[in-house]
């Protein structure tokens, strides 16, 4: 598909691409900070990030962009083409948002978060919330200032302005309307499981393997998923993430420090799901434009959760993966069967760490964070009260005590990064993924049988075509309807969980 | 020492620091390209580098800088202070140079070199000069355009304008005046050695060790040298280098692919010598200003060569290091004595790879490159004739044939990086190092005895105080006189080589 021959549209695209190129330098600075930067480089890294963020913000809010957008919006040929019209619409949305933030606030936010990350790392290691608290105060104060600049939507709350960054158009009240009933049905499922007549064996969950062997297994799985390791990497960090540095360069991280080889693999597959979305976006042609950008974090998360949970925790996946794992982790799994590993991958058990949680309890972890950050933004929860509130509500939701802040409110990197309003997108992603998975299996009836032979290409191809290729042509709610034929519903996720867990637990 | 209270001087310093912060982002992009970037990221990396280089160039050549410089130059208090006067003088020099280059040329040079590096890597691996030749043509053409913008000095040649970037004030004719006689005396020494009555044993040169063990040994040596690994790293690349990312972040690389554990160690110590200079510059206070910048590449190289050759190839160093190496590389060196390893570290033998050459023949490698690049810049040597000329002259100088271009004209990264005029600074560095080493040993009579006990702090302290702390307060020729009491001479290097090699070879 060729772009309309409009000089303004061409100039807009060029400007967007250059701005994204500059901003992508910030992505490398961030990746390096988490992977290889020596501790002594932290203060200077904050200065580098602040400078790049300020320069990128200057370019993004250049008056020239407003002129180009206006010219495109009044150009019939541009707006008659659905793809270029979507490009202009989304670029307008970003410009209007970006011009609401003063440059000084952008730089201050960037610098503060860069330093807050270092404080968080140390606080987490020492399990010392007091060390992080002053930085969280600063991050939350700056978050509120940002939210005030964006402004709450009519009838909405300040938190909505933050959520809108990650899940455009979504509001906290809508999230709560979905989360409320889901919480009840999930809690009911979890308590039926707690009283279940049988349980899958979980002895595999304590099988450890050396990091280098786990890395080799992870890379074998990445290759089978179709993640291009010549256009990407897999490294080790305190908290797994996926960072796109630009076209041809998508980096994943995982960690091998847990008690089991399974959780790190699921972390790797999760990030690779994000990575496949990034590699599937049409960046060669459209880098920097909304047409090569992901729709929302919820949709992004649907990709990671699909590979982690719908593929990685399936019996078919392990039918193929167990022999691969046996070779990579030898002799760890010589006596293990597919049934055992499938059972271990689906143990439901309340636990402390979100990124290691099972599919059923995971969403309860999210609901906890959503409530707490919503109240911190509103000012109804003081920072100093966070650990106590976390621990109290965690006990209510999951029924277990939090032993220390390292396994409590200090476990996630998000708040130190300034990512407030981000958490609910994880559960939205689970819901999108479940709804797409039903449609995928209807479209590809041989998919599951193929997966047992290591054939994941049909799934990757479906996602490339139905989701990735569009960039931000559709909004998340539109994509859901275009792709699955129905608006978002919690039913597919609950059907998936109940359908899988009932036989395993004899419910 | 406090800076004069001049608003213009303060504003100049702030501008310089911010410009350097932006430029330092380019350093991370370069480091990452050589270490961890996936191959697919190369094209985008070139765009990132070009954009950062152009933005940094814009800032460096901002008209505001000219105004600030003029204000400082007419401010008596600023110019009365020797340090701030040097800062202004050197900032003026850089500004005048930078404003001679059009921004388009800076961006094109950066983008071309970024791509040329990828072509060089592949050409080197395949030993295929034809694959690199078109890129070398482009780099040399752009180099000539840069040199023409700078302009040849009165009575000088175009090459001088390139050399002046790396060794300010030095000219090709002066270099040739030093290199000519040195070439004769070195060639005489090398031929006496070839006919020597005895030779140190070289069987250790083929002792291989796993990379991870070599890394551990290298890090133990770095720690003893006083290189701060919390403010730096050691990684593996095709070609060893030292990259300063900014205050608190100095990164070294080495390679473990050679046939011996000794050459990689000397590579590591070499880069650590550069790294100690970077860590010793007063960046906390003066980052971005000439007062926290190195004087010249020759002086930089004097630091790396001192640690590599004057320390690393000494009997005293190995008295301490052999037991450390035994532990790290066990059981490789269990039967090896200090005398054997000292002999092996000082084998003089013509060889193909510059970075693995011995102390005596090394300078002949440099003279070869100096002559060839000087002629390529002048246009009297065509790119297509480079491999033939390289091989012919190499045979003349070192007496051995070049088996392939990988071990010939494709071995070094410099030309693909656009670093033309850089090579002669290596031999200048050897000369500075030898002259300083004589002075250091006069100042610190117990140094050698201490080195045998692993005590390198007095040497590091001497270099910190006499060389590093000054930044660019002195020019290279001034520093040489201030520090050693005499102008630069080739005699100390020849005394050092003859004094060490005569007993080893029974001359």
For the residues B498-507, what does the mean pLDDT come to? 94
Q: Which residues of chain B lie closer than 8 angstroms to A228, CB-CB?
A: 40
- Whole-prediction pTM: 0.89
Neighbours of A211 (CB within 10 A): 16
Which range, of A202-206, B27-31, B80-84, averages the lowest pLDDT?
A202-206
| Alpha carbons A421 and A376: distance in angstroms, whole number | 11
Which among B49, B235, B245 is the top mutation candidate for probing chain A, defined by the most A β-carbons within 10 Å of its own β-carbon? B245
Q: How confident is the model at residue B248 (pLDDT cuts 50, 70, 90)?
A: very high
Q: Which residues have C-beta within 8 Å of that of residue B162, sequence separation ≥ 6?
A: B143, B146, B147, B150, B377, B420, B421
Q: Beta B242-246 vs A249-254: how paired, if at all?
A: unpaired
B39 touches chain A (CB under 8 A): yes
* Token representation of residue B110: 């950066």
What pLDDT shows up at residue B387? 98
- pLDDT for B3 equals 65
CB B249 within 8 A of CB A37: yes
Q: In sequence order, what are the residues at sequence separation of 6 or more whose Cβ sits closer than 8 angstroms to the Cβ of residue B5?
A: B77
Cβ(A265)–Cβ(A312) under 8 Å?
yes
The minimal CB distance from B41 to the residues A229, A249, A287 is found for: A249
Statement: residue B208 has pLDDT above 90 = no
CB distance A359 to A423 below 8 Å: no
Q: Among A64, A3, A68, which Cα is nearest to A292's?
A: A3
Lowest mean pLDDT among A303-312, A489-498, B457-466: A489-498
Residue-wise burial string across A48-85, b where 16 or more C-beta atoms lie within 10 A, e elsewhere: bbbbbbbbbbebbbbeebeebbebbeebeebbebebbb
- Minimum-distance CB partner of B51 among A21, A42, A44: A21
- Alpha-carbon distance of A468 to A274, in angstroms, equals 11
Q: How many angstroms separate the Cα of A232 from the Cα of each of A295, B38, B125? A: 21, 6, 21
pLDDT tens-digit series, residues B223-232: 999 999 999 9
Give kind and range of the element (H or E) at residue B218: helix B211-225
A232 touching chain B per CB within 8 A: yes
Residue pLDDT, tens place only, A190-223: 989 989 988 887 777 778 899 999 999 999 999 9
Q: What would the mean pLDDT of A34-61 be, rounded to a whole number?
A: 95
CB atoms B233 and A47 under 8 Å: no
Q: Are A163 and A147 in contact (CB under 8 A)?
A: no
Identity of the residue in A36, A44, A245 whose CB atom sits nearest the CB atom of B247: A44
CB contact under 8 A, A233 and B21: no
B223 close contact with A: CB closer than 8 A = no
pLDDT at A323: 97
Q: Give the bridge partners for B235, in sequence order.
A: B253
pLDDT, chain B, mean: 94
The pLDDT mean for chain A works out to 94
Number of cross-chain residue pairs from A and B with Cβ atoms under 8 Å apart: 123
Termini Cα distance of chain B: 52
Q: How confident is the model at residue A477 (pLDDT cuts 50, 70, 90)?
A: confident
Chain B contact set for A32 (CB, 8 A): 28, 32
Q: CB of A420 within 8 A of CB of A378?
A: no
Look at the block and give the residue holding tokens 């899988």: A500
**Residue B319, both tokens:** 């008295």
- Whether A16 and A26 have beta carbons less than 8 Å apart is answered as no
Residue ranges per structural domain of chain B: 7-99, 172-505
Mean pLDDT on A436-457: 98
Per-residue pLDDT, averaged over B98-121, amounts to 91
pLDDT confidence of residue A206: 76
Catalytic annotation, residues of A = 271
Average pLDDT over residues B405-420: 96
Would the pLDDT of A3 be above 80?
no
Is the per-residue pLDDT at B241 higher than 90?
A: yes
Q: Assess whether pLDDT exceeds 80 at residue B410.
A: yes
Q: Tell which residue, A120, A128, A160, has the closest CA to residue A144.
A: A160
- From chain B, the residues in CB contact with A233 under 8 A are 36, 38
Query: What tens digit of pLDDT does each residue of B351-374 get?
Result: 999 988 899 999 999 999 999 999
- Dist. CA A32–CA A18, nearest whole Å: 22
Q: Is B275 on the interface with A (CB under 8 A)?
A: no
- Compute the distance between CA of residue B212 and CA of residue B214 in angstroms, rounded to an integer: 5
Residue B199 token pair: 């030779």
Lowest mean pLDDT among A44-48, B15-19, B190-194: B190-194
B100 — phi, psi (to 5°)? -80, -15
CB contact at 8 A, A4 and A276: no
Give the pLDDT confidence score for residue B258 in this predicted structure.
63
Q: So what's the pLDDT on residue A438?
A: 98
**CB contact (8 A) between residue A37 and residue B287:** no
Distance of CA B30 to the CA centre of its chain: 16
At residue B347, the 3 state secondary structure works out as coil
CB–CB contact A40 B245 (8 Å): no
Q: How far, in Å, CA of B55 to CA of B61, rounded?
A: 10
Nearest residue to B433 via CA among B279, B307, B346, B267: B307
Alpha carbon B415 to chain centroid, angstroms: 14
Domain at A172-505: CATH architecture? Orthogonal Bundle (1.10)
d(CA A397, CA A392) in angstroms, rounded, equals 9
Instruction: Over range B164-188, report the average pLDDT.
Output: 91
Interface contact B25-A51, CB threshold 8 A: yes
Rounded Cα distance, B258 and B332, in Å: 16
Q: How far is A438 from chain B (nearest CA, A)?
A: 34
The CA–CA distances, whole Å, from B59 to A25, B54, B102 equal 18, 9, 13
Mean of pLDDT values over A413-434: 96
- Partner A contacted by B42 (CB < 8 A): yes
CB neighbours of residue B277 within 10 Å: 25
| Smallest Cα distance from A239 to chain B, Å | 19
pLDDT reported for residue B259: 73
Q: Are B412 and B239 in contact (CB under 8 A)?
A: yes
Q: What is the pLDDT of residues A409-418, one digit of tens each?
A: 999 999 999 9
Sign, CA dihedral A48-A49-A54-A56, equals: positive
Whole-number Å distance between alpha carbons of A444 and A464: 14
Cβ of B48 within 8 Å of Cβ of A36? The answer is: no
Is B37 near chain A, with CB under 8 Å?
Answer: yes
**Does the pLDDT value for residue A482 go beyond 80?**
yes
Report percent pLDDT > 70 for chain B.
99
What average pLDDT does the segment A152-158 reach?
A: 94
Percent of chain A with pLDDT over 90: 86
Mean pLDDT value across residues B12-25: 98
How much is the pLDDT for B110? 87
Instruction: Provide the 3-class DSSP secondary structure of residue A314.
Output: coil
Q: How far apart are CA B232 and CA B229, in angstroms?
A: 5
pLDDT of residue B2: 61
Instruction: Quote the CA–CA distance of A277 and B105 in Å, as a whole number.
Output: 37
Is residue A63 predicted with pLDDT exceeding 60? yes
CA B103, distance to chain mean position in Å, is 27
Q: Provide ipTM, 2 decimals.
A: 0.89
A41 in reach of chain B (CB within 8 A): yes
């Amino acid at each position: 598909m060729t772009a309309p021959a409009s000089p303004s549209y061409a100039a807009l695209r060029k400007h967007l691409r250059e701005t994204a190129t500059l901003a992508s330098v910030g992505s490398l600075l961030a990746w390096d900070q988490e992977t290889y930067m020596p501790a002594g480089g932290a203060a200077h890294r904050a200065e580098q990030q602040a400078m790049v963020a300020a320069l990128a913000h200057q370019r993004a809010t250049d008056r020239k962009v407003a002129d180009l957008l206006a010219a495109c919006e009044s150009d019939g040929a541009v707006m008659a083409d659905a793809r270029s019209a979507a490009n202009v619409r989304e670029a307008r949305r970003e410009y209007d948002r970006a011009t609401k933030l003063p440059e000084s606030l952008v730089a201050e936010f960037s610098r503060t978060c860069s330093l807050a990350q270092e404080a968080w790392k140390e606080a987490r290691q020492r399990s010392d919330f007091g060390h992080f608290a002053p930085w969280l105060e600063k991050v939350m104060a700056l978050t509120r200032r940002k939210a005030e600049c964006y402004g709450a939507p009519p009838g909405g709350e300040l938190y909505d302005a933050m959520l809108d960054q990650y899940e455009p158009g979504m509001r906290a009240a809508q999230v709560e309307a979905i989360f409320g009933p889901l919480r009840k049905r999930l809690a009911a499922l979890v308590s039926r499981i707690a009283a279940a007549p049988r349980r899958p064996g979980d002895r595999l969950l304590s099988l450890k393997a050396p990091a280098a062997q786990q890395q080799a297994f992870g890379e074998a799985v990445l290759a089978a998923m179709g993640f291009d390791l010549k256009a990407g990497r897999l490294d080790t960090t305190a908290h797994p993430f996926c960072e796109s540095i630009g076209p041809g360069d998508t980096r994943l991280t995982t960690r091998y420090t847990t008690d089991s080889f399974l959780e790190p693999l699921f972390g790797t597959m999760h990030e690779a799901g994000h990575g496949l979305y990034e590699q599937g976006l049409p960046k060669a042609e459209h880098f920097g434009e909304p047409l090569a950008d992901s729709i929302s974090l919820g949709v992004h998360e649907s990709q990671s959760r699909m590979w982690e949970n719908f593929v990685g925790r399936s019996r078919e996946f392990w039918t193929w993966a167990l022999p691969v794992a046996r070779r990579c982790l030898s002799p760890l799994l010589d006596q293990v069967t597919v049934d055992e590993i499938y059972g271990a991958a689906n143990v439901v058990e309340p636990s402390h760490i979100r990124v290691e949680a099972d599919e059923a309890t995971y969403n309860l972890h999210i609901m906890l964070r959503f409530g707490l950050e919503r109240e911190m933004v509103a000012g109804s929860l003081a920072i100093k009260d966070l650990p106590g509130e976390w621990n109290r509500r965690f006990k209510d939701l999951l029924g277990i005590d939090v032993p220390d802040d390292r396994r409590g409110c200090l476990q996630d990197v998000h708040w130190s990064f300034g990512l407030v309003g981000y958490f609910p997108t994880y559960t939205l992603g689970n819901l999108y993924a479940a709804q797409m998975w039903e449609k995928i299996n209807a479209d590809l009836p041989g998919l599951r049988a193929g997966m047992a032979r290591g054939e994941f290409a049909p799934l990757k191809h479906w996602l490339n075509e139905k989701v990735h290729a569009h960039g931000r042509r559709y909004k998340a709610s539109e994509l859901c309807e275009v792709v699955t034929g129905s608006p978002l519903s919690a039913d597919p996720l609950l059907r998936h969980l109940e359908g899988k867990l009932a036989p395993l637990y004899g419910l």
